[in-house]
Amino acid sequence: MTIMQKVLWFIASVGNFSAGYFYMHSQSAFSFFVLISTLIYSIIGIYDIFYSRHSLNRLYPVVAYLRYFLESYRVEIQQYFIANDTEERPFNREQRSLVYQRAKNVRDTIAFGTQRNLVEDNYLSLWHSLAPTIVKETSKRVIIGGSNCQQPYSASYLNISAMSFGSLSSNAIEALNLGAKKAGCYHNTGEGAASPYHLKHGGDIVWQLGTGLFGCRDEKGRFNPDTFEKTAKLPQIKMIEIKLSQGAKPGHGGVLPKAKITDEIANIRHISKDRDCISPAVNPECTSPKDLLTFIEQLRSLSGGKPVGFKLCIGNPAEFLSICKAMLETGITPDFITVDGAEGGTGAAPVEFTNRLGLICLEGISIVNNALVGVGLRDRIKIIASGKTASSFDLLEKIAAGADVVNAARTMMMAIGCIQSRHCNTNLCPTGVATQDPARGKAIDIASKSDRVKNFHSNTLSSFFELVGSMGLDDPAKLIPQMIKRRSPYGMQMSMGSLVTPLSLNALIEPSLSDVELDESWQHWWHTSSAEQFYVDDVFILKAPEFHQERARKVN
pLDDT exceeds cutoff 70 at 554: no
Task: Give the chain's mean pLDDT.
Answer: 93
Average of per-residue pLDDT across 270-292: 90
Phi-psi region of 535 (alpha: psi -120 to 50; beta: other; left: phi over 0): beta
For residue 546, pLDDT beyond 80: no
pLDDT value of residue 139: 97
Predicted confidence band of residue 551 (pLDDT cuts 50, 70, 90): low
State residue 550's pLDDT score. Answer: 58
**83 pLDDT above the threshold of 70:** yes
**Which of the four pLDDT bands, split at 50, 70 and 90, describes residue 255?**
confident
State the Cα–Cα distance between residues 427 and 440, nearest whole angstrom. Answer: 9
- In the chain, the percentage of residues whose pLDDT exceeds 70 is 98
Say yes or no to pLDDT of 202 above 90: yes
pLDDT, mean of residues 135-147: 96
More confident residue, 349 or 99: 99
Please report, for residues 65, 181, 315, 508, 542, the alpha-carbon distance to residue 522 in angstroms, rounded to integers and kept in the order given.
57, 42, 14, 8, 11
Asked if residue 526 lies in contact with residue 508, where contact means CB atoms within 8 angstroms, the answer is yes
Q: What is the pLDDT of residue 258?
A: 86
Residue 476: DSSP 8-state? G
Segment 89-97 mean pLDDT: 91
Domain spans, the chain: 3-77
Q: Quick one: pLDDT at residue 462?
A: 98
Q: What are the CA-CA distances from residue 417 to residues 130, 148, 192 (Å)? A: 39, 41, 22
pLDDT, position 545: 72
CB atoms within 10 A of CB 87: 12
Amino acid 482: pLDDT = 95
pLDDT at 547: 67
- pLDDT of residue 62 exceeding 90, the answer is yes
How is 283-323 classified by DSSP, letter by letter?
-TT-SSHHHHHHHHHHHHHHTTS--EEEEEE--SHHHHHHH
More confident residue, 545 or 101: 101
pLDDT at 543: 83
Q: Which amino acid would we find at residue 342?
A: A
In this predicted model, what pLDDT tens digit does every residue of 382-417 receive, in sequence order?
999 998 999 999 999 999 999 999 999 999 999 999
Name the pLDDT band for 548 (thresholds 50, 70, 90).
Answer: low
How do residues 359-389 score in pLDDT, each as one tens digit?
999 999 999 999 999 999 999 999 999 989 9
Question: Does residue 378 sit in helix, strand or coil?
Answer: helix
pLDDT at 76: 77
Cα gap 220→269, rounded to integer Å: 12
The C-alpha atoms of residue 10 and residue 45 are separated, in whole angstroms, by 11
CA 492 to chain centre: 32
Q: What end-to-end distance do the CA atoms of the chain give, in Å?
A: 76
pLDDT tens readout for residues 320-344:
999 999 999 999 999 999 999 999 8
- Check residue 383 and give its pLDDT: 98
pLDDT in tens, 206-248: 999 999 999 999 888 889 999 999 999 999 999 999 999 999 8
Contact 358, 367 (CB under 8 A): no
Neighbours of 165 (CB within 10 A): 26
